[in-house]
Amino acid sequence: MTISDYASLLVDAGDYSGRDDVTHLFPRFLALAELKLNRVMRVADMERMVTVPLTDGEGSLSADFLEARQVLAADGRVLRALPLQELGRHATSGGGPIGYAIVGSAIQVRPKGAEDIRLTYYAKIPPLTAVAPSNWLIERAPDVYLYALVEEIAIWERDAGKAGAAEALKRQAMAGLGLADERLRWGNAETVIGGLTP
C-alpha cells in the first residue's frame, strides 16, 4: 500500500509495528511524532512569509511559528537577531529598525517604531488528522511519518530495540528529505569562497 494520507499512514504504521490493536492511541502517537519532528526539521516546505504589523516596536507571531529565517524592515533592509540586552540599548535610538529579538510569541524590533516588517519563518508541520488527512510532509516524505509513528508505538510498548530501529530509519528518511531539500534550494548555485584565497 502507498502511504498518501492519514488513514493509509495508520494502516501501514499498524502493519510495520505489528500493533493494529492500538488504533485508538494513534492520534496521540502522531501528535508526539509531529512534536519531535517540529523540533529538528527545517526544510523549504516549512517556510512562510508574512507581513507583521508593529505597534511600539512589537508584533505578534503566528501560532505555527518555530524559528525566524529572515526579518526585513519595510525598506528591505535585513534586520539582525540581537540579544535582548543589546536590543534594549537601542529602544530609544532614532532612525529605522536595526535588530530584533523573539520574546515568547512576539517579535520585538528596535529602535521602536510602527512600520511593518516582513518575516520569513519556519512553520510547524500542519498536523495530520482524520479531518485534515494530508499535508506537505506526507506528500513528500511519507516514510518520515511512518517511522516516526512506529517509533512512538515502540516507545509506548517499552520496546527499546524496536524504538531504536525505528529511530534509525526515521533519521535516514529525514536525511534523505534534507538532501533533497538542499538540492532543491542550491542545485545550480555556484560556490563562492569569501575573503582572501591563496
The model's confidence at residue 165, banded by pLDDT at 50, 70 and 90, is: very high
Whether the per-residue pLDDT at 44 is higher than 80: the answer is: yes
The pLDDT value given to residue 198: 60
Q: How confident is the model at residue 88 (pLDDT cuts 50, 70, 90)?
A: confident
Give the pLDDT score at 195: 72
Residue among 165, 134, 179, 128 at smallest CA distance from 2: 134
Q: What is the pLDDT of residues 16-26, one digit of tens each?
A: 999 989 989 99
Q: Residue 112: is its pLDDT beyond 70?
A: yes
CA distances from 18 to 11, 22, 39, 46 (A): 10, 10, 27, 32
Distance of CA 159 to the CA centre of its chain: 28
